[in-house]
Amino acid sequence: MMLLKIAWRNIWRNPLRSSVIMLSMVVGLWAGVFINAFFQGMTNEQVSTAISRQYSHIQIHRPGFMMEEKLDAYIPDADKVAAAAGRLPAVQAVSGRMLVTAMAATAHGSAGVTIYGIDPEQEQAVTGIANYLSEGSYFGQDNIPVAVIGRKLKEKLGLQAGQKIIFTFTNQQEEMAAGAFRVAGVFTSNNSTLEEFTVYVQIHQLAPLAGLETHQQHELAVLLRSNDQLEATALQLQRQFPALSISTWKQLSPELRLMIDSFNLYMFIIIGIILLALVFGIVNTMLMAVLERQRELGVLMAVGMNRSKIFSMVLLETLLMTLAGCAMGLPLAALSVWWFGQQGIDLSNWSEGLAMYGYGTRVYPALAWHYYFVITLMALVFSLLAAIYPARRSLRLKPAEAIRKI
């Protein structure tokens, strides 16, 4: 306890120098935590967009369909599979889809697209596509063939809501099929690829053109009540339907899964670089403190304080400055993360670039509480390593020579 008091007093013998080191620690930790929280917020936004508007939590296909996307590779008894999946407690909604690769053409140009034949109510329950319409309306009750397209595709083909678009593709009988659809609505998304290549039509209007029945669906999109139930539900579905391919969003988007799995590594690298920069400041400060106190340390050795206590005193001084920096920096960082996590950070000025990678225009920083303890531990370890050289330098002092120094 006495050694602790001495170490604390020694810190404030030069308050300006100690304050600079602690302030550096505060700023460094705040910056490191906030950068990681911002990155985590962007990742969460990308995952949310991928699940809600593109992949859903789980997709069910006939084996091999994802590789070739043949029209005859539909799910056997898709309606029964969808009904069985919908009865699982973890499942919130299921949407059956008929997928057709086609060429979309207007008087202004053409583009390759994927047509999703859907049941409007089921699809709304899974993706909420009607909530993202920027023009027009969702599917009506009339029998006129209508389509909902993305904003990028609308701009590419020079379309407006109410105008016609022609789809051409090869049907199940290997014959060319074409259909004219009127644009009912235009949706926006945080994913520019989705906006440019995705078209939604009603399944009962697409099926006759494709040479299929409405129950012959290629994909079942399953939305869960919570992402925490993902693996268990996927395993349950695979056991229930062993002949089908059950894929989670992590399998459908491996690059996104890699980003999430690599978060810990990114955090250690960012915090490690910041702490490494702080180490040089700590080494310099403690070394100066030892050199300035050579006479004092010599007196302490002369009156009986052993070298291990001298070594421990220098280490304690470093640890106390680090703990003081953590005590101020981490709560400040946590408060900043909480505040911006509630308000969000507006990135609408860079919306076009962010949409290319599936990011939204507002990021909500977030960081799990256990990371703060990990960062504190890292700071203490780095500070201990930084204090070793100055502490060892203090042990080289010879009491008689140190006392004679002015």
pLDDT band at 196 (very low <50, low <70, confident <90, very high): confident
Same domain, 218 and 293: no
Same domain, 217 and 299: no
Work out how many domains the chain is built from and give that number.
Answer: 2
pLDDT, residue 305, reads 67
Same domain, 269 and 223: no
Task: Please write the tens of the pLDDT for every residue from 245-298.
Answer: 999 988 888 877 777 777 778 888 888 888 888 888 888 777 777 766 666 666
pLDDT, residue 92, reads 92
Rounded to an integer, what distance in angstroms lies between the CA atom of residue 5 and that of residue 397?
Answer: 23
Last residue within a domain, chosen from 177, 212, 243 = 243
pLDDT at 401 over 60: no
Same domain, 264 and 220: no
13 lies in some domain: yes
On whether the CB atoms of residues 344 and 43 are closer than 8 A, the answer is no
Same domain, 35 and 80: no
Burial of 279-290, coded b for 16+ CB within 10 Å and e otherwise, reads eebbbebbbebb
Same domain, 372 and 293: yes
C-alpha distances out from residue 223 to 34, 50, 53, 123, 248, Å: 31, 12, 11, 10, 10
**What is the span of the domain harbouring residue 394?**
2-50+260-404
C-alpha distances out from residue 11 to 15, 17, 22, 169, 213, Å: 7, 9, 11, 77, 80
pLDDT, residue 332, reads 92
pTM beyond 0.85: the answer is no
pLDDT at 142 over 70: no
Q: Classify residue 401 as exposed, middle or buried by CB count within 10 Å of its CB (0-12, 13-18, 19+).
A: exposed
21 lies in some domain: yes
